[in-house]
Chain A
Amino acid sequence: MNTANVLILIFSMAILLILPIQTVAEKDIACYHCHTNVVNEFRNNVHYQMGFTCANCHGGDIDDNNSIISANVMTGDFIGRPTRNNITDVCSKCHSRETSDYKQSIHWEQIQKGHSEAATCTDCHGIHEIRRIKDPKSLTNHQNSPETCAKCHSNKEMMSAWYYGIKTDRLDTYKESFHWKALRNGYNVVATCADCHNNHITKPHTDPTSSTYPDNLPKTCGKDNCHPGAKFDTKIAEGLIHDKESLHTGKLMFNKTGMNPRLASYYLGPFDLAYWIAWFFKILTAGVIGAFVCMVILDFASRFKINRRW
């Protein structure tokens, strides 16, 4: 074996060794070598599976991406840390309808007012790991949607800030509902947050164009897949959908002027019905069962003591 042959052998072996790495690197995303975690997340992204790369959202020069260390990508219109405006701009390039819906929402309104922690696309859909809605791991999956909203809406610090004043018990009170009880047992044809409050055009219930504005509730509940045939004058607004016993104080209210009309409908005369009926049943159940359990115990004991009935 001469030297040339040995060199050729070594060279070909080297190529054989390098080739797989090379092919992996080619299929791979250049940013991987530094932003490993992010790219791993991105691999679960529906956009990655459809052929999009980092540069589609972050900008930068795509052509220089093939080298292993691709610092050149961070040039031109590259955005490292997208601002709230950047995010909606990027998403609107393709999802224009969703973005224009979103821009009517209270979330966008708050961002415009300078409260940048208000939700934008990525807060609900995920940042790098954007999955299809049907994917059970997706943040926006029907099963996960209550938890996704609760990330912010159960956060006391965020919600009790003076400019929001939104209650943080929205998930807890939703969990009182039949919708949640059915949902958690795998029955998907029930409403979660987005079904009533709308996913992109989320507006406060005080806004007359909101899906949760009292006058619009029959239409919202009466969607074709939900409660079709709900009549126009259905009295849904007279009562709190997000209800919980803790909302009710049981105080006697002789003057209900100025009270929230939705809460006022729980009152019959001065009585807060939900509160007092729950108490009535607590007392009734404890009384009746307690009395009869005593009776059973006495009955049983009397058989030993009196020894008459055997």
Chain B
Amino acid sequence: MKRAKTKLEKDISLEKEQSEITFKRFTFNQLVQHWVMIATFMTLVVTGMAVKFPDSWWSPVIINLVGGFEMRTQIHHTAGIVMVILGIYHIIYHVFVDKEPLLERRIWPTLKDTQDFWKTILFYFGKEEQPKYGRYSWKEKFDYWGAFWGMVMLCVTGLIMMFPFVAMTYIPYAYVHLATIIHTDEALLATLFIFIVHWWNVHYSPEVFPMSKAWLTGNLTEGQMMHEHPLEYEEAMRQAHMKDYK
């Protein structure tokens, strides 16, 4: 069934012809944080899953590729420490350096996100318009806080596993064993989530395939901005106009 183009689609196709305005999605600082995150995360997954699944055929392949089990452990520990430093840097930067008041950050979950979640499901079944997102959609917030929680868990349990005999002066051996369960299960969850959900959103989805370039340039085109973050777009345009009229 043919359908008249909505106003938004007209805008987008119009923009495609003339758009030169780009919107800052991520600062260079944030881009570098994401790049370090990618490098350490992938290293940790490859070197870690070989121990989580020691009976798989690929486990010895990976371990031999990285130079033996001891080297695997060294690489895993190094990458883990770099990731922990990244996490600490991230918190320090965004709590103490970033000027925006902490409680007004747009990354905090709000009531609108739960509404958006239901709207999204209805949208998938064709019963509702796509919800209008601000700077961060509920999916992006889930990604962020999922990674945040995951990093805290993996850091704490990872340090326990790295220094078991230091840990055991404070906690029983039983809890060191629990740390191995939590560490590997949480890592498996994170890996599956990144490889399936996150990569769908930013790589595989026909909307962005082969990838959203925001992770390299930090910019969004006006068309993308209107489509993916309409509320933020409207806000930005309003402010720009206000500036013009001053």
Contact = CB atoms under 8 A, between A and B. Distances in A.
Contacts of A178: 51, 161, 180
Contacts of A310: 206-207
Contacts of B121: 298
25 contacts: A184-B54, A185-B60, A187-B69, A222-B165, A230-B168, A234-B168, A235-B173, A236-B168, A236-B173, A238-B172, A238-B173, A238-B174, A240-B177, A266-B174, A273-B174, A274-B177, A274-B181, A277-B182, A281-B189, A285-B189, A285-B192, A292-B196, A299-B205, A301-B124, A306-B126
Given A186-B69, A299-B200, A302-B123, A240 B174 contact: yes
B33 interface: no
Interface string B54-71: 100001100100001110
A282 B207 CA distance: 32
Given A180-B54, A185-B72, 17 more contacts: A181-B54, A186-B68, A227-B164, A230-B165, A235-B168, A236-B168, A239-B172, A266-B174, A278-B181, A289-B193, A292-B193, A298-B124, A299-B124, A299-B205, A302-B123, A309-B227, A310-B207
Given A277-B178, A299-B200, A302-B124, A185 B54 contact: yes
Contacts, number: 130
A70 B197 CA distance: 78
Contacts of B146: 288
Given A237-B173, A238-B174, A299-B124, A277 B165 contact: no
A307 to B, nearest CB: 8
Interface in A212-245: 221-222, 227, 229-231, 233-241, 243
Given A239-B174, A292-B196, A182 B189 contact: no
Name the prevailing secondary structure of the B interface residues.
helix
B83 interface: no
Chain A to chain B: the 6 pairs with minimum beta-carbon distance, closest first: A239-B174, A238-B172, A239-B173, A281-B185, A187-B69, A298-B124
A235 B90 CA distance: 35
Nearest to A231: B169
B177 A229 contact: no
Query: For A178, A185, A240, A303, which residue has the most chain B Cβ atoms within 10 angstroms?
Result: A185
A216 B175 CA distance: 20
Interface residues of A, number: 54
Given A185-B69, A274-B178, A296 B196 contact: yes
Interface of A: 178, 180-182, 184-187, 189, 221-222, 227, 229-231, 233-241, 243, 262, 265-266, 273-274, 277-278, 281-282, 284-285, 288-289, 292-293, 295-296, 298-303, 305-310
Contact of A265 (B72, B172, B180, B196): B172
B195 to A, nearest CB: 10
Contacts of B3: 307
A278 B185 contact: yes
Given A243-B177, A302-B123, A288 B172 contact: no
A281 B196 contact: no
Interface in B177-236: 177-178, 180-182, 185-186, 188-189, 192-193, 196-197, 200, 205-207, 227
